[in-house]
């Protein structure tokens, strides 16, 4: 709901308020963003009063000699009029000056959620809200001197406690201007001392939370790779040092953008904090001609006074309801088997069908043929761009193998990488100018490939046409869309004006600063057309794992491959990172073989499943090489997953203790240990960040699924508890785990203390006995009220501690995990 006070505006969600006013000088002064409050029309106590200018500051003009912009919280700031902080917009005028003075002109309140013309954006405000109150505010600012207008659009999503913002610059003049910086949103706050949390990393170790105290100076979280990047996700948070998962204030921010972005936090000399987020201004420029319009990506912000979990609830609901589109927005995702780690490029129809048949036998629903099926693709040096099936590997083409997989009773999926081209390809030999590269200079390649120039319409059309041909060639139900390198040698012959419609412009203006943004516009056009043409296909985004995990991609693809690293311990931390800003069904998570292909770590199959089940579950291992015991366990896992699938995919995920060091205890969440796998410290001392806890709760809170994972065994420490989150305090629940059987191999030669015959480790005898003798593990079978579980915790069966074992002992080794099922029962 939006309240128009004529000289002020209040944007209320169900639990938050956002307030700003129009000053006497016609600037927009930001007053408040936080927990929902009630204010008087006079705004007494909310406005800063300026009687004298602070020393070494500048007055705005002679009419207001005691008014300075440098010590004011603003909705949008600009260069040249006394505000020395980072600017919301930097515009180079025709005379070379960069001073802008945008002042209030008009405001409109309505219920329309406008789609951006060329960028993805949130959709579908709640129908009942549209009938009763305004949920969209557009503020029009004008720079009369330079004949420019700036539209600031605010959209209120009541139930989700989310506000989104966009900015649109319009050139009403007769000459072009150059945009050097135009952010999507600005939030000025009256205090400093907040903690800025960003999610950083690299390939195979995405989304590691890093906490920075905002005391003074400027901090920037940004990408400059042509992607939203694994090194700096566009999602970030603001909190206080005492905020926990369940208590305290937490702000969350995000951006509908998949390219170069920047999140800037600055504390000025007066202790005020400014946040800006949007397109990364580094080497960005955009020539805005007379009558032209430039749109910024849509920005997202939320607030909660219920800790990080409270913040995540709003963001998860927002993504589910207002970001993901189409048939798969509420449709359960199939359990898939991907061929990549089972065979890499060494595929053919018979191998793939054997793997698919093994998958069918354990309950897999979707078989995915990964890289290696097209052109002469025997390794990563050739054939990208030549999207024709290799008939030596697939005699019947894609249709032939898809039909055979369908006859097994499974759906069929395929891997593509449409944005890339190998020099060793027919496409590159025909159209070398379709690749991003600087002519006559050596090129720095990644994974032996180059990037298609998506600033060109003909390249976009080629991608759309070639992918459409592939998708129509067979009964394809799933597509994994990959992107395995970042931008280098950033140059487009098209933008240089070589034989195109901007040739004359390019002789006068250097347009290369537009390349990375134009690339994103081209990519979004391809994705929009293809997803609308093939609405039945489940698309999964991928960029060498999580190198492009953002709201822009999720606007077209309902899920994204979270990381190329499938190690359960690493994935537990990565998925915890994602969970702060994204719901769990947005990330693909697979059970892989051991030793893990990325870390060589060996983790139990039960742990690999426990972590992967808290996402869109898949398997990425060679089932043909697995033992009967392993296949039986996988079949049990999939059966249990299907029983609780709707909750696991569409329930609300809550975090408890975490490997990353965040706890529910005030005041200890922002230490130097946050964000690393080794943060647990000693294996001799119990530590909360030696475990990770997740709970996913059904919307009606009648059912839940919980998970606890452990890094390392602490000796002589039998006691452990699991504390679920998000349950109904007054409901009475049954908590149980599935039957556990312990392989005698886990005890090594210790088994001889109980065995009537000597069993040598790794002997034939041990292998034979282990096939027929399984020890009973612990059985949790408890009944508790929700309030007891969430506050006192569930005391688990005692773990093995070196002094004895029976069927009530929990064998919980290094890298172990358990899944617990919680269902409401009558008292």
Q: Where are the domains of the chain?
A: 2-322, 327-564
Quote the pLDDT of residue 504: 53
Helix (H) or strand (E) holding 412: strand 411-416
What digits encode the pLDDT tens for the residues 438-493?
999 999 999 999 999 999 999 999 999 999 999 999 999 999 999 999 999 999 99
Task: Residue 635: name the closest of 676, 605, 663, 615 by CA.
Answer: 605
d(CA 227, CA 562): 15
What digits encode the pLDDT tens for the residues 213-240?
999 999 999 999 999 999 999 999 999 9
d(CA 618, CA 452): 30
d(CA 532, CA 528): 6
Q: Burial, 448: exposed, middle or buried (Cβ in 10 Å; 0-12, 13-18, 19+)?
A: middle
pLDDT at 20 over 50: yes
The tokens describing 72, both together, are 């004011």
pLDDT at 709 over 80: yes
Q: How confident is the model at residue 669 (pLDDT cuts 50, 70, 90)?
A: very low
Tokens 């309505």 label which residue?
A: 110
d(CA 433, CA 429): 10
- List the beta bridge partners of residue 141: 104, 150
Residue 497: how many other CB atoms lie within 10 Å: 18
Q: What is the mean pLDDT of the chain?
A: 94
d(CA 488, CA 436): 8
Task: Residue 353: name the closest of 633, 371, 343 by CA.
Answer: 343
> If you average pLDDT over residues 785-791, what whole number do you get?
98
Q: How confident is the model at residue 270 (pLDDT cuts 50, 70, 90)?
A: very high
> DSSP label at 370?
-
Distances (CA, A) of 391 to 121, 347, 510, 721: 41, 12, 46, 56
What is the pTM for the complete model shown? 0.95
Q: What sign has the CA pseudo-torsion 770, 771, 773, 776?
A: positive
Quote the pLDDT of residue 555: 99
Q: What sign has the CA pseudo-torsion 175, 181, 186, 188?
A: negative
Ordered DSSP codes for 779-812? --EEEEEHHHHHHT-EEPPPBP-SS---TT-B--
> If you average pLDDT over residues 570-591, what whole number do you get?
98
Quote the pLDDT of residue 662: 60
pLDDT at 503 over 60: no
Q: Classify the phi-psi angles of 356: left when phi > 0, otherwise alpha if psi is within -120 to 50, otherwise beta.
A: alpha
Q: Which of 371, 564, 565, 567 is catalytic?
A: 564
Q: Which region among 132-136, 162-166, 639-643 has the lowest average model confidence (pLDDT)? A: 132-136
Quote the pLDDT of residue 737: 97
pLDDT at 144 over 50: yes
Q: Which region among 51-65, 575-589, 728-742 has the lowest average model confidence (pLDDT)? A: 51-65
Q: What are phi and psi of 453, to 5 degrees?
A: -85, 90
Q: For residues 786 and 700, is the Cβ–Cβ distance under 8 A?
A: no
Residue with more model confidence, 742 or 265: 265
Q: Which of 482, 550, 565, 567 is catalytic?
A: 482
The CA-based dihedral angle spanning residues 222, 226, 229, 233, taken in that order and rounded to the nearest 10 degrees: 50
- The percent of residues in the chain predicted with pLDDT above 90, rounded, is 86
The CA-based dihedral angle spanning residues 281, 541, 167, 21, taken in that order and rounded to the nearest 10 degrees: -110
The tokens describing 543, both together, are 């960029």
Q: For residues 251 and 303, is the Cβ–Cβ distance under 8 A?
A: yes
d(CA 399, CA 394): 9
d(CA 275, CA 189): 8
pLDDT at 675 over 70: no
The tokens describing 37, both together, are 């409050």
Task: Residue 611: name the closest of 543, 711, 699 by CA.
Answer: 711
Reported as half-sphere exposure (CB side, CA atoms, 13 A), residue 623 has a value of 28
Task: Residue 607: name the closest of 711, 680, 679, 683 by CA.
Answer: 711
What digits encode the pLDDT tens for the residues 377-392?
999 999 999 999 999 9
Task: Residue 368: name the closest of 331, 343, 332, 393 by CA.
Answer: 343
Task: Examine the residue annotation and report whether 172 is marked as an active-site residue of this protein.
Answer: no
pLDDT at 166 over 80: yes
pLDDT at 711 over 90: yes
**3-state secondary structure at position 289:** coil
Q: For residues 284 and 257, is the Cβ–Cβ distance under 8 A?
A: no
Residue with more model confidence, 614 or 674: 614
Q: For residues 437 and 495, is the Cβ–Cβ distance under 8 A?
A: no
Quote the pLDDT of residue 501: 56
pLDDT at 126 over 70: no
Distances (CA, A) of 82 to 77, 86, 275, 559: 10, 12, 18, 45
> DSSP label at 752?
G
Q: How confident is the model at residue 322 (pLDDT cuts 50, 70, 90)?
A: very high
Distances (CA, A) of 125 to 321, 435, 673: 9, 40, 41
Helix (H) or strand (E) holding 4: strand 2-4
Residue 667: how many other CB atoms lie within 10 Å: 13
d(CA 797, CA 520): 53
**3-state secondary structure at position 739:** coil
Quote the pLDDT of residue 500: 55
Q: For residues 650 and 615, is the Cβ–Cβ distance under 8 A?
A: no
d(CA 537, CA 476): 7
pLDDT at 663 over 90: no
pLDDT at 128 over 50: no
Cis preceding linkage at 404, omega within 30:
no
d(CA 470, CA 658): 43
Quote the pLDDT of residue 678: 37
Quote the pLDDT of residue 756: 86
The tokens describing 723, both together, are 């504390």
pLDDT at 29 over 70: yes
> DSSP label at 324?
-
- List the beta bridge partners of residue 820: 706
Give CB contacts under 8 A, 24+ apart, made by 688-691: 688/657, 688/661, 688/663, 689/657, 689/658, 689/659, 689/660, 689/661, 689/662, 689/663, 690/659, 690/714, 691/657, 691/659, 691/720
Task: Examine the residue annotation and report whether 625 is marked as an active-site residue of this protein.
Answer: no
> If you average pLDDT over residues 594-610, what whole number do you get?
98
Q: Burial, 597: exposed, middle or buried (Cβ in 10 Å; 0-12, 13-18, 19+)?
A: middle
Assigned CATH topology for domain 327-564: TIM Barrel (3.20.20)
What digits encode the pLDDT tens for the residues 53-83?
899 999 989 999 889 999 999 999 999 999 9
2-322: CATH architecture: Distorted Sandwich (2.70)
Q: How confident is the model at residue 679 (pLDDT cuts 50, 70, 90)?
A: very low
Q: Per residue in 268-307, is it b (16+ CB within 10 Å) or e — as a string? A: beeebbbbbbbbbbeebbbbbeeeeebbbbbbbbbbbbbb
């Amino acid at each position: 709901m939006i309240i128009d006070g004529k000289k002020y505006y209040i944007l209320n969600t169900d639990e938050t308020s956002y307030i700003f006013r129009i000053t006497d000088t016609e600037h927009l002064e930001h007053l408040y963003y936080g927990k929902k409050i009630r204010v008087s029309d006079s705004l007494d106590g909310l406005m800063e009063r300026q009687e004298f200018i602070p020393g070494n500051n500048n007055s705005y003009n002679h009419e207001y000699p005691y008014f300075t912009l440098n010590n004011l919280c603003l909705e949008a700031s600009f260069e040249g009029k006394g505000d020395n902080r980072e600017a919301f917009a930097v515009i180079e005028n025709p005379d070379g000056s960069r001073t802008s003075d945008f002042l209030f002109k008009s405001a409109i309140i309505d219920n329309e959620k406008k789609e951006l013309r060329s960028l993805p954006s949130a959709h579908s405000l709640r129908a009942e809200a549209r009938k009763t109150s305004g949920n969209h505010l557009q503020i029009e600012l004008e720079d009369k001197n330079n004949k420019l207008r700036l539209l600031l659009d605010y959209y209120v999503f009541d139930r989700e406690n989310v506000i989104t913002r966009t900015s649109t610059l319009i050139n009403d003049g007769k000459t072009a201007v150059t945009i050097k910086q135009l952010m999507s949103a600005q939030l000025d706050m009256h205090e400093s001392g907040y903690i800025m949390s960003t999610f950083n990393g690299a390939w195979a170790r995405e989304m590691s939370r890093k906490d920075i105290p905002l005391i003074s100076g400027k901090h920037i979280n940004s990408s400059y790779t042509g992607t939203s990047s694994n090194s700096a996700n566009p999602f970030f948070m603001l909190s206080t040092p005492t905020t926990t998962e369940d208590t305290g204030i937490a702000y969350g921010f995000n951006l509908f953008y998949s390219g170069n972005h920047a999140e800037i936090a600055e504390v000025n000399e007066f202790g005020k904090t400014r946040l800006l987020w949007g397109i990364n201004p580094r080497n960005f420029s955009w020539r805005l001609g007379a009558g032209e319009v430039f749109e910024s990506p849509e920005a997202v912000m939320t607030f909660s006074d219920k800790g990080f979990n409270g913040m995540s609830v709003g963001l998860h609901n927002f993504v589910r309801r207002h970001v993901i589109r189409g048939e798969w927005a509420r449709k359960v995702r199939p359990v898939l088997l991907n061929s990549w780690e089972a065979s890499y490029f060494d595929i053919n129809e018979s191998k793939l069908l054997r793997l698919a048949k093994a998958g069918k036998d354990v309950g897999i629903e979707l078989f995915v043929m990964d890289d290696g099926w097209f052109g002469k693709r025997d390794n990563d040096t050739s054939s990208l761009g030549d999207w024709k099936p290799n008939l030596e590997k697939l005699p019947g083409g894609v249709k032939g193998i898809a039909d055979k997989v369908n006859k097994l009773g499974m759906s069929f999926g395929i891997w593509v990488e449409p944005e890339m081209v190998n020099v060793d390809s027919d496409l590159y030999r025909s159209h070398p100018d379709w690749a991003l590269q600087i002519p006559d200079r050596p090129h720095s390649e990644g994974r032996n490939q180059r990037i298609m120039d998506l600033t060109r319409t003909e390249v976009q059309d080629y991608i759309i046409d070639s992918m459409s041909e592939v998708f129509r060639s067979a009964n394809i139900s799933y597509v994994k869309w990959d992107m395995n390198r970042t931008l280098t040698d950033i140059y487009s012959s098209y933008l240089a004006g070589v034989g195109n419609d901007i040739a004359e412009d390019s002789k006068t203006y250097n347009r290369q600063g537009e390349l990375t943004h134009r690339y994103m516009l081209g990519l979004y056009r391809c994705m929009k057309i293809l997803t609308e043409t093939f609405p039945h296909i489940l698309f999964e985004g991928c960029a060498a794992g999580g190198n492009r995990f953002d709201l822009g991609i999720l606007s077209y693809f309902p899920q994204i491959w979270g990381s190329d690293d499938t190690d359960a311990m690493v994935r537990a931390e990565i998925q915890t990172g994602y969970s702060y800003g994204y719901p769990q069904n947005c990330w693909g998570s697979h059970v892989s073989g051991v030793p893990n292909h990325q870390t060589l770590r060996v983790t139990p199959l039960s742990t690999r499943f426990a972590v992967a089940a808290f996402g869109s579950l898949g398997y990425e291992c060679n089932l043909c090489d697995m033992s009967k015991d392993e296949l039986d366990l996988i079949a049990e896992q999939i059966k249990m997953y299907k029983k609780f699938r709707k909750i696991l995919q569409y329930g609300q995920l809550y975090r408890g203790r975490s490997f990353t060091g965040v706890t529910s205890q005030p005041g200890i969440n922002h230490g130097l240990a946050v964000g690393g796998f080794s943060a647990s410290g000693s294996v001799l001392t119990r530590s909360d960040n030696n475990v990770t806890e997740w709970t996913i709760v059904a919307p009606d809170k009648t059912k839940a699924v919980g998970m606890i994972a452990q890094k390392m065994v602490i000796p002589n420490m039998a006691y452990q508890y699991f504390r679920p989150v998000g349950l109904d305090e007054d409901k009475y629940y049954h908590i149980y785990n599935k039957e556990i059987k312990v392989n005698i191999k886990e005890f090594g030669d210790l088994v001889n203390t109980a065995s009537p015959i000597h069993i040598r480790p790794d002997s034939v005898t041990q292998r034979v006995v282990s096939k027929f003798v399984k020890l009973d593990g612990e059985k949790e079978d408890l009944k508790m009220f929700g309030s007891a579980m969430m506050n006192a915790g569930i005391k688990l069966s005692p773990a093995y501690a070196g002094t004895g074992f029976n069927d009530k002992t929990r064998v919980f080794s290094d890298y172990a995990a358990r899944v617990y099922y919680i269902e409401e029962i009558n008292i």
